[in-house]
A and B are shown apart, each in its own frame.
Chain A
Amino acid sequence: MLLYLSKKIKRVEILRSYIVKMIAAVLAAAACILSCVPLLPLVVGTATGNYELAAYLEGTLWGEGGTYLLLFPSYPTLGGMVEALFKRPEFYVVFWNSVKLTGCIVLGQILFAVPAAWGFSRWHGRWSSLLFYLYTILMLLPFQVTMLSNYIVIDGMGILDTHAAVILPAVFSTFPVFIIYRSFLGIPEEVYEAFLLDSSSHWRMFCHVGVPLALPGIKSAALLGVIEYWNMVEQPLLFLKTPSRWPFSLYIPGISYDNVQYIFACSLIVLTPMLLLMFWGKDDIRKGIGNMAVKP
């Protein structure tokens, strides 16, 4: 009798854990699908001609009728891709503007932020805490709050409407300092003590101990920076007047609705470098974030 009851309880428990596992699996699958779904129209739309898109997206484009989900174009055409890649000098210019801006900003950020983060992680004291507090406030402030200060300096330097106006303030952003600081905190004190036995040069300690050990964190901060500035909208909007200096994030939303396939094609093209970076940098990001989780 007891054996029968215990078997029944076990069966109920197994059933319950099975149900929980099913729910968990469904939720995880839903999360996976939801993450990818918005990209589907991009891919499909790039291969669909303008006539078909105009029919399917009538509601969105001209406000009347409806919008329907197109899963596979009846008349696939790569006209939009060809136009974006070969026939439109504007897209070429804005794309490479973005590349230039993002590259310069991230390089500059790493150059200035890594030593600063190391300095913060090793320097303890009231002044260090005060400075770090100010850096944290700066990191949280939305761009718009310090916009006026930036504008004053940029106007004073006379570099308004040049790429330097966007690059310079962004290079000194305090966000990467925060992330890389957390990585440096994870380095145990013993490693530094061991190094100090052999040499007392702090610069050497930084180069040969600090940077190599925090490299995943630095790489992940760089990747995050690339994603952030590839997307940049507010700074170029305010500081770059000439359209030929714009990054693509200002150009694409302004493309007229006559040429929807071109919009999709451009969107897909600017997405691709990010996808590649994500694919290559996946492990680095995970390791870098893992460094952040270490108790300091």
Chain B
Amino acid sequence: MKKCNGGLRYFAFLVPSLAGVLAFVFFPFADVVKMSFTSVGGKAFIGFGNYKTVVTNQAFRLAVGNTCRFLLVCVPLLLLFSLILANIIYFGAGKFYRNICLLPMAVPVASLVFVWKMVFHRSGLINTYLGSSVDWLNSSWSFWVLAGTFLWKNMGYYVVLWLAGLESIPGELYEAAAVDGAGFFSKFCHISLPGLRPMFSATLILSVTAALKSYRESYLLAGEYPDKSIYMVQHLFHNWFREMSVEKMSAGAVILVVMFAVMVWPFRKKGEGNPGLFHD
């Protein structure tokens, strides 16, 4: 049990950051919430009218659906592949990978845009060498292109994360298990996975954040109105902002914040006494 004296003194350390967050996010967001209940121009109070408009909006449903689909596909794939690769590196071959695994993450998106275009264009590298004519960037394949670039970019960092987790598991456990006759798979299930649990919640949150940032690649490669399969909430809000559809943006923002609040609820840090998912 951690001591709890001087709670208010610790709050003092928070004040500068909190002041900025309040000023730049919370207070204006209160304004946005107010806007979401009024009509265009901010005159009349129209209750949930804006919310109804947004929820029945085709584009909004498409965007939310695509974002969920992207998250549900990419995050598990990323965590799984990086876990497998981390195990491979930890238990044997490929220590060299550690030196270059962070390289893809360091490469600026703007540098690579042209290279990705070169590879995935309708008349690009893949189509020329395979003789196909699939429009990788402008058809429903673009979802997998985006997922692929996301995995390429982030794999290295998550391998490092898992490796750090694996290194914190005492080696004697594996040796003891080997003496008892455990094969690799049971060692993995009974030692590695439980030992990695403290990492899991942080890694999950980081990977969701990273997946949502892949909007940058998608914007630079496919523009503001990409193919239907990768039209995500970021595109939608960006386009609403350009049209200045303030009422839709405000209602949509509130809806999304509520959705994220629900999603993050199991991961909150709990008060003294009960460990939350952060504190496994």
Query: Taking chain B's interface residues, is the majority helix, strand, or loop, or is none over half, making it mixed?
Result: helix
Residue on B nearest A152 in the bound complex, by CB: B28
Q: Is A146 part of the contact surface with B, judged by Cβ < 8 Å?
A: yes
Report whether B21 and A174 are in contact in the complex, using a CB–CB cutoff of 8 Å.
Answer: yes
Q: Indicate whether A25 sits within 8 Å of B128 (C-beta atoms), given known contacts A60-B118, A125-B272.
A: no
* Nearest Cβ on chain A to B180's Cβ, whole angstroms: 17
Q: Indicate whether A116 sits within 8 Å of B16 (C-beta atoms), given known contacts A136-B268, A148-B241, A231-B109.
A: yes
Most chain A beta-carbon contacts within 10 A, residue among B14, B212, B263: B14
| Residue numbers in B under 8 Å from A113 (CB-CB) | 17
Q: Is A5 part of the contact surface with B, judged by Cβ < 8 Å?
A: no
Report whether B94 and A149 are in contact in the complex, using a CB–CB cutoff of 8 Å.
Answer: no
Q: Is A282 part of the contact surface with B, judged by Cβ < 8 Å?
A: yes
User: How many A-B contacts at CB < 8 Å in the complex?
Assistant: 334
Report whether A153 and B11 are in contact in the complex, using a CB–CB cutoff of 8 Å.
Answer: no
Chain A residues numbered 125-164 whose CB sits less than 8 Å from any CB in chain B: 125-129, 131-153
A266, B212: Cα distance in complex, Å: 27
* Nearest Cβ on chain B to A18's Cβ, whole angstroms: 11
- State the B residues within 8 Å of A (CB): 2-4, 6-7, 9-14, 16-18, 20-21, 23-29, 31-32, 85, 88-89, 91-94, 96-119, 121-125, 127-129, 152, 155-156, 160-161, 164-165, 167-168, 198-199, 202, 205, 208-209, 212-213, 215-216, 219-220, 233-234, 236-238, 241, 246, 249-250, 252-253, 256-257, 260-261, 263-265, 267-272, 276, 278-280
Instruction: Please give 20 more A-B residue pairs, beta carbons under 8 A apart, in addition to A25-B92, A27-B85, A36-B100.
Output: A32-B97, A35-B104, A60-B117, A63-B123, A112-B17, A115-B13, A118-B13, A119-B11, A128-B7, A134-B26, A140-B260, A145-B252, A153-B23, A172-B20, A231-B110, A234-B215, A249-B110, A263-B114, A271-B111, A296-B278
- State the A residues within 8 Å of B (CB): 21, 24-25, 27-29, 31-32, 34-36, 38-39, 41-42, 57-60, 63-69, 111-113, 115-116, 118-120, 122-129, 131-153, 168-169, 171-172, 174-175, 177-178, 182, 189, 202, 206, 227, 230-231, 233-234, 238, 248-250, 252-253, 260, 263-264, 267-268, 270-271, 274-275, 277-278, 282, 285-286, 289-290, 292-296
Shortest Cβ-Cβ A-B pairs, 8 listed: A28-B94, A59-B123, A119-B13, A66-B128, A172-B20, A116-B17, A144-B237, A149-B28
